[in-house]
Amino acid sequence: MEKTAVISGGASGIGKAAARKLAETGFRICLLDVNQAKLQAVQEEMEAEGYTVLAIPCDMAVYDQVGAAAEKVMQHYGRIDVVFANAGIVGETSSIESMSIDNWSQVLSINLNGTFYLVKAVIPYVKQQGGSIIITSSVSGNRVFSQAGFTAYSTSKAAQATFAKMAALELAQYHVRVNVICPGGVETDFKKSIKPSPDLEEVKVPVTFPEGSKPLDNRSGKPEEVANLVKFLASDESSHITGTEIYIDGAESLLIG
């Protein structure tokens, strides 16, 4: 029986790399993303290589769209085995005092609500045969608290980790595992979603690492390296791992936390 993986934020970065990695192992893929142009491009690229891909434009902050997407996956593929809740943004980085209410709401809506919406929507389908739910959190809010202006982002990421643990315990009886990956710096276009505010320098605590802040190999991670972790958590090789945070950052967070 062919298995199906649903990936949010699947049109770029870690989501795209994970989609390719899972497709290589035989998964049928469903990509969810708000960027329709990129979504279509990834679908066409993967289908040209012989992979089975369904692409659904979806705003993860709108539950009706997320729920409808889950139903469409079931209609198309008949089952959902792996869910990678990966969509997220940083938003505006600013002091708490100057942060706009709209920015706070948008970051929490996409990162935290979007994760909850996706997991809630797929539970009736995943628990039919069991499976794996993987959530992209971050070192931010879990090990790292020194990033000035990242309050909304870090709060959403810490909450995702807590949500995953609650879900892991609740869903264990259905043989559904729920785990969290916590990447550090990764070579993607993610930084383009960061919008620094003018007052950011006022709240920064200056720290310099003469030999760099990335102890392992002195570099950021690659999307493919994170995708390898997703592949492991999606597979039966991780069959007894649930409710767990796994850091993938080359020890960066141990140094700068």
Can you tell me the distance from the alpha carbon of 38 to that of 31, in angstroms, rounded to the nearest whole number? 11
Instruction: Calculate the alpha carbon distances from 146 to 28, 76, 88, 194, 256 in Å.
Output: 40, 45, 20, 16, 7
CB-CB contact of 156 with 205 (8 Å): no
Helix residue spans in 25-148 (DSSP H): 36-48, 63-77, 101-108, 114-126
* Longest pairwise C-alpha distance within the chain: 57
CB-CB contact of 127 with 120 (8 Å): no
Chain centroid to Cα 162, Å, comes to 14
| Residues recognised as catalytic | 153
DSSP 193-226: GEEE-TTHHHH------TT-S-TTTTS-B-HHHH
